[in-house]
Amino acid sequence: MKKKYNVHIIESRCKMCGLCVGFCPQKVLEAKINTIPEVLNPDKCIGCKLCYQKCPDIAIFVEERTAPYNE
């Protein structure tokens, strides 16, 4: 089973530089000029964490999704 990931943006830390958007190989994130990025395609995330690595303010993080206990 393919792993899935959640991408979280900490808006209070984000300076809207767009590096996370530019480095994402799967186009999970999107941002317009001077806006906080949005997670538009979370199911496309492959967990590479390039967005986290390139963010100068540690305003984004990626975590593996955990299955609900009832599955």
Q: Can you give the residue ranges of every domain in the chain?
A: 5-61
Provide the whole-model pTM. Answer: 0.84
Question: E strands along 1-71, which residues?
Answer: 5-9, 29-30, 38-39, 60-64
pLDDT of residue 1: 74
**The pair of three-digit structure tokens given for residue 34, joined into one six-digit string:** 């001077």
- pLDDT tens for each residue of the chain, 71 residues long: 789 999 999 999 999 999 999 999 999 999 988 899 999 999 999 999 999 999 999 999 999 998 664 44
Q: In whole angstroms, what is the distance from residue 11 CA to residue 41 CA?
A: 18
CATH architecture, domain 5-61: 2-Layer Sandwich (3.30)
Phi then psi for residue 38, to 5 deg, are -115, 145
pLDDT for position 42? 92
